[in-house]
A and B are shown apart, each in its own frame.
Chain A
Amino acid sequence: MLKKRIIPCLDIKNGRTVKGINFKGLRDAGDPIALAQKYEEEGADELVFLDISATEERRATLLPLVQEIAHHLSIPFTVGGGIQSVRDVSNLLQAGADKVSLNSAAVNNPKLIQELSMAFGRQCIVLAIDSKEIFGKDTVFIHGGKKPTELETLDWARRGIDLGAGELLLTSMDFDGTKKGFDLRLLQKISKALPVPIIASGGAGNTTHFSEVFTKTNVTGALAASIFHFGEIAIPALKQELQQQKIPVRWI
């Protein structure tokens, strides 16, 4: 049986992880490789690395880091943040990333999804969508959630899949950081309408939130950052809980 995926997300800036990370046994908390390995050992099913460096020097640090990650990790990983072109994606995949995620660039230039899908296959193209409800309309935001667009979330997700995205990473900005649980309404709406793998993001605060999102929506993965980084939820305990709820998880 296909398992539900638990996916920690690491924010990277200038080659280091950001946000305070508090992991027992990790001396240098800013080292993305050490943290990634720790997550792999604990049973993370995939990892997402989100590059939030704002400057042009970004690529200078990102590509060697991706190579290092690929050398050390034996689980799949996605790299996102600031990807603009076919060349960017080609470089990241050649450095060893399994998938790339696109956000603002896909909104600004939807044909990019098609070009990438044709060049590299849809299985490695993840469409990341930041969604916020504005006057009852699920609205797509870009530029790290700073800029609203005209796009309705389901419409954009469907278009992205038609253009060749193989997977959605759907973040609810209304729920992100609240720790009150995933945005079940939004995730249910999108995952019922679209037959593609969807990763739920935003709002996870405890293990019950994960079992809820897997039982009440059709998402196939759930992503979180700080609750894993701060050790508020340990992945082995989370998986044990999910297994007790009869949710299929990979056991190691």
Chain B
Amino acid sequence: MITLLKYNAGNILSVQNALNRLGYDSVVTHDKKVLEKAEKVIIPGVGEASSAMEYLKAHELDVLIPKLQQPVLGICLGLQLLCRSSEEGNALCLGVFDSEVVRFPSTEMIPHMGWNNCTELAGTLTKNIPETADFYYVHSFYATRSKHTKSICHYGIPFSATLEKDNFFATQFHPEKSASVGTILLKNFLEL
């Protein structure tokens, strides 16, 4: 069963809907035992980093998540929580990826909202996806590039669009809101 992490962030329903369209059932939980035994874990989310980390800590998930062995996909805030730290509320995050999460320079319209493409595609998530393909983004903070960066998006500056490390995967954009190309990406994860 695909297990979606329940925490104080929105947008979980959109991901569930996308999984339904692909024929996958899912459960939403913060129960540690269910998460440990899940076939795959998705950390969706639109929300605020420091309050999300507080929620994870209160449920001892800050210790559990980095130790998960099955494929894990972080989406948007989910990606940011898997990084080392976030400037949003000065949060210490889960530290799976080496990137730091910082605010966009004020020269750009914030939030970065709309369709944008990825370049320098590598890794598993973007398999069969061309560099001309656009994904849907909504965010005010971004993950810096690190050795775990597998594709880049440009908005004033280049930042990590996807990150991968061992069984951990993450996208800054919303594949569940990215039409057919988002579906390909979700399938790449679900069929791991």
Seen from chain A, the residues whose Cβ lies within 8 Å of a Cβ on chain B are 1-3, 5, 40, 45, 70-72, 74-76, 93-94, 96, 98, 120-124, 166-167, 195-197, 220-221, 250-252
Contacts and interface: CB of A to CB of B under 8 A. Distances in A.
A55 B18 CA distance: 33
B111 A250 contact: no
A121 B154 CA distance: 23
Max count, chain B CB within 10 A of own CB: residue among A71, A74, A195, A221: A74
A132 B46 CA distance: 35
Given A2-B116, A45-B114, A96 B46 contact: no
Q: Which 5 pairs, one residue from A and one from B, show the smallest C-beta to C-beta distance?
A: A250-B134, A250-B115, A3-B115, A123-B138, A2-B116
A117 B103 CA distance: 19
Contacts of A122: 111
A76 B20 CA distance: 17
B13 A98 contact: no
A121 B46 contact: yes
A96 B113 contact: no
Interface stretch (B92-100, B163-171, B179-187): B179-187
A5 B134 CA distance: 12
B24 interface: no
A65 to B, nearest CB: 14
23 contacts: A2-B112, A3-B114, A3-B115, A45-B114, A45-B115, A70-B13, A70-B14, A70-B17, A74-B18, A74-B177, A74-B182, A74-B183, A75-B136, A75-B179, A93-B10, A98-B14, A121-B46, A123-B111, A166-B111, A166-B113, A167-B113, A195-B110, A250-B115
B132 interface: yes
Contacts, number: 80
B17 A197 contact: no
Given A75-B178, A251-B134, 10 more contacts: A1-B154, A45-B115, A70-B13, A75-B136, A75-B179, A76-B138, A96-B13, A98-B14, A221-B114, A252-B180
Nearest to A94: B13
B103 to A, nearest CB: 14
B131 to A, nearest CB: 12
Contacts of B140: 123
Interface string B88-122: 00000000000000000000011111111100000
Given A3-B116, A93-B10, A195 B109 contact: yes
Interface in B1-55: 10, 13-14, 17-18, 20-21, 46-48
Given A166-B111, A196-B109, A251-B132, A76 B177 contact: yes
A246 to B, nearest CB: 15
Contacts of A72: 21
Nearest to A121: B46
Nearest to B139: A123
Contacts of B114: 2-3, 5, 45, 197, 220-221
Contacts of B182: 74
Nearest to B154: A1
A76 B109 contact: no
A214 B39 CA distance: 46
A40 B181 CA distance: 12
Contacts of B117: 1
A51 to B, nearest CB: 20
B156 to A, nearest CB: 10
Given A94-B13, A120-B10, A40 B179 contact: yes
Nearest to B134: A250
Contact of A197 (B48, B113, B116, B177): B113
Nearest to A218: B109
A2 B155 contact: yes
B14 A121 contact: no
B116 A1 contact: yes
Contacts of B48: 121
A94 B13 CA distance: 8
Contacts of A1: 116-117, 154
A64 B93 CA distance: 37
Contact of B136 (A76, A94, A166, A196): A76
